[in-house]
Amino acid sequence: MENYDGFSEENLREIAKKKVVYRFAVRLHVSIFLIVNILLFFINMLTTPNYYWIIYPLFGWLIGIAEHITAYIIYAKGIYPNTKRGVIFHIIAYIFVNLLLYIIFFYNEVYYPQLILHIEVTNPNTWYQYPLVFWGAGLLIHIAVHVIFFRSKVDKEGIKKSKREKAIERELEKMKSKFKK
């Protein structure tokens, strides 16, 4: 049996199978997204042409599409460990959810009042900034934990280990010493 950089042909077949499934899922979700949102656009234009409510399902669903595409790219690129994957998913969700919140804010509190009510909005409520700031702080903490705790560094013996791996080794040594007594 041939070995491909540490992978057997059977392992490579499983990886290829999962990549095909992920790719199919992305294509399926994007196709359904496009079909449904085109249909919703026509329903919106026929029923309430003065209010574009289509932006809410469109951008809300776009968050899910972005996560599906991210999952495929992460798997296709072979990004490990899981903490790095978590940081990437967190960043993508942060970007797309805050984009949706800003669009809701702008459309409902700036654009729509000027369009329909013909009022000049001088100081709109900036509620969308709260999740932007506080979720951003959580995202920065998530990134810091990943960088500090899970990033590998070369130790004194020339072996590349993360703080987590080193902590596991120390704990393992403690456990072994208890069994020796």
Domain assignment present for 23 = yes
In whole angstroms, what is the distance from residue 27 CA to residue 37 CA?
15
Structure tokens at 3: 């070995």
Question: What's the pLDDT score for residue 140?
Answer: 92
Q: Round to whole Å and give the CA distance between 163 and 170.
A: 10
Backbone angles phi, psi at 30, to 5 degrees: -65, -40
Predicted confidence at residue 131, as pLDDT, reads 84
The gap from C-alpha 41 to its chain's centroid, in whole angstroms, comes to 26
Residue 122: the pLDDT is: 58
**Residue 139 within a domain:** no
Classified as helix, coil or strand, 119 is coil
Residue 149 belongs to some domain of the structure: no
169 in any annotated domain: no
113: in domain:
no
Query: What pLDDT sits at residue 159?
Result: 72
Q: Residue 45 has what pLDDT?
A: 94
Asked if residue 141 is part of any domain, the answer here is no
Q: Is residue 94 part of a domain?
A: no
At 4 the three-state DSSP class reads strand
pLDDT of residue 74: 86
Letter string b/e over residues 63-81, b meaning 16 or more CB atoms within 10 A of that residue's CB: bebbebbbbbebbeeeeee
pLDDT tens for the 181 residues of the chain, in order: 566 666 777 877 887 888 888 888 899 999 999 999 999 999 999 998 888 889 889 988 999 899 889 988 888 787 767 778 888 999 999 999 999 888 888 887 777 666 655 556 556 667 778 888 888 898 899 888 888 877 776 666 767 777 777 777 777 777 667 656 6
What is the sign, positive or negative, of the torsion defined by CA atoms of 104, 109, 114, 118? positive
What is the structure's pLDDT at 2?
Answer: 65
| pLDDT for the residue numbered 52 | 85
Q: What is the pLDDT of residue 30?
A: 94
- pTM for the model stands at 0.66
**Domains in the chain, number:** 1
Range of the structural domain that residue 48 is part of: 1-78
Inside any domain, residue 2: yes
**CA distance linking residue 74 with residue 167, whole number of Å:** 27
pLDDT computed for residue 41 by the predictor: 95
Q: Measured between alpha carbons, how far is 95 from 136 in angstroms, rounded to an integer?
A: 10
